[in-house]
Amino acid sequence: MKALTLTPGLVNLADLEHVYREEAAVRVDRAAEPAIRQAAERVAKAARGSDAVYGVNTGFGKLASVKIAADDTETLQRNLILSHCCGVGEPLDRTTTRLMMVLKLLSLGRGASGVRLEVLQLIEACLDKGVTPVIPSQGSVGASGDLAPLAHMTAVLIGEGEAIFEGNRLAGAEALAKAGLEPIVLGPKEGLGLINGTQFSTACALVGLFDAWRLAEATLVTASLSTDAIMGSTAPLLAGIHELRGHRGQIEVARIMRDIMTGSQIRESHREGDTRVQDPYCIRCQPQVAGACVDLLRMAATTLEIEANAATDNPLVLVDVDRIVSGGNFHAEPVAFAADQIALAVAELGAISQRRIALMVDPTLSFDLPPFLAKDPGLNSGMMIAEVTTAALMSENKHLANPCSTDSTPTSANQEDHVSMAAHGARRLHRMTANLSHILGVELLCAIAGIEHRAPLETSPALQSVIARLREEVPALEEDRYLAPDLETAADLVRSRVLVSVLSNEHMIKLGAADAAG
């Protein structure tokens, strides 16, 4: 696969999603090399000087007042990495780890970290040859950078730690050797430049965002199916209602649902004579809820695109004014807020979907659908417990959506006395989007069963194509059967965008990263 050239400071979310999903090899735009070299030369000069420069010839954190001899510079950086390899827990998955490495490349490529070009080239080579560091997923508070996770990444570069190569978990030095690569000896500030930064938190948050976009797309399809299944009114989708409020996401969601449902015989069959004045909120307020979630995800996307392009280590080399300055760009508060925003959107998309499922399986509310969508109810339980499962997942996501960014605990002898908690705030998103995909998968199964109950009336042509695609893999539930595989298949279809892909472009809003970045 041809390497993707990325320009530090100018990378968009679409490129990063491509890196994540396709495991693309990456090259930093060679136009960035002069700035990288200048910053490295400035750090080397400082290392030779007598003035104390944090992280170059001093200790770290509370030990910043301890001066380090020039002869000990390499030992200082190596010790920094080894001492900070304190992560615990399950390893981060391969694709997110690779994204984290790319984000570190982009940060170093800004030419403000003082890290030599050779270090960037080794990271590029690891990505190209498939050397993936083993990164324990717990241990960062998102403050002085994601220190522990990034230390585990850096350990492999110096021939320590562990890495996955060709499917095998190996010692870092062995993985490099098998890939034909040599470990690097870190120069002044390079260890600090590699482990200071928000790249672990940002990578996890980006993965949460990418998956949440896909599920936001899918919810427009499942919501439209559910509306037809319960013979819900489409009057609440009228453009004039949403234009009077003015929120972009709400306007777009209503438009898409109108488009998707155009041509439904089911809708036309009860346009006259339906005695229901108003549907429950889970049907009537879909544009307001899903639209607000879309807008929230867009805000998070803007923050994360900026962060992906940022120089976030400390100190930073300001070449233009010939200064090395200590600051706090490593503090991951923006990422923590973005992760919390994504979590709220994911939880709410699941909450309203679960209520639509509950509506469809309840015979007192579902407008003539059989109890629990079962054939021969009583003998068969149909989707009774599938709905209970979605209630469990919805409740779990509500719990997980509690903010992480409002938490803080002092660390490092009170030197780092306010922290963002971005790391676990971002990490939880993987679990939340997995839960949401299962909720939407059950909604898909229920809504299609409800629509098929309306035969010979048919839903819209667009939604008929969705039904046909699901039925290629999941047959109709004629009698009770072992349902777990059906639920997993439906969730997989939701996650993969297969259902969205059967719709024409004009039926879909561009909820993806490129649209968010715009």
pLDDT (tens digit per residue) in 458-504: 999 999 999 999 999 999 999 999 999 999 999 999 999 888 887 77
Query: Residue 277's pLDDT is what?
Result: 66
* Residues 506, 259 contacting (CB under 8 angstroms): yes
Neighbours of 63 (CB within 10 A): 12
pLDDT, tens only, 81-115: 999 999 999 999 999 999 999 999 999 999 999 99
pLDDT, tens only, 218-271: 999 999 999 999 999 999 999 999 999 999 999 999 999 999 999 999 988 876
Q: Is 413 exposed, middle or buried (0-12, 13-18, 19+ CB in 10 A)?
A: exposed
Provide CB contacts within 8 A for 148, sequence distance 6+: 84, 85, 86, 87, 136, 139, 140
* Residues 172, 132 contacting (CB under 8 angstroms): no
Q: What's the average model confidence in pLDDT over 374-399?
A: 97
Selecting among 20, 54, 281, 482, the annotated active-site residue is: 54
pLDDT, tens only, 25-51: 999 999 999 999 999 999 999 888 888
pTM over 0.75: yes
Q: For 436, how many CA atoms within 13 A lie in the half-sphere containing its CB?
A: 34
Of 292, 276, 288, 333, give the one whose Cα is nearest residue 310.
Answer: 333
- Domains in the chain with CATH codes: 4-197 (1.10.275.10), 205-408+418-517 (1.20.200.10)
Of 37, 25, 16, give the one whose Cα is nearest residue 103.
Answer: 16
Name residue, tokens 């797309």: 217
Based on the residue annotation, tell me whether 281 is a catalytic residue of this protein: no
**In the structure, how many helices (H) and strands (E) does the chain have?**
21, 9
- Given the DSSP bridges, would you call strands 132-133 and 162-165 parallel, antiparallel or unpaired? antiparallel
Neighbours of 334 (CB within 10 A): 22
Query: Residue 3's pLDDT is what?
Result: 87
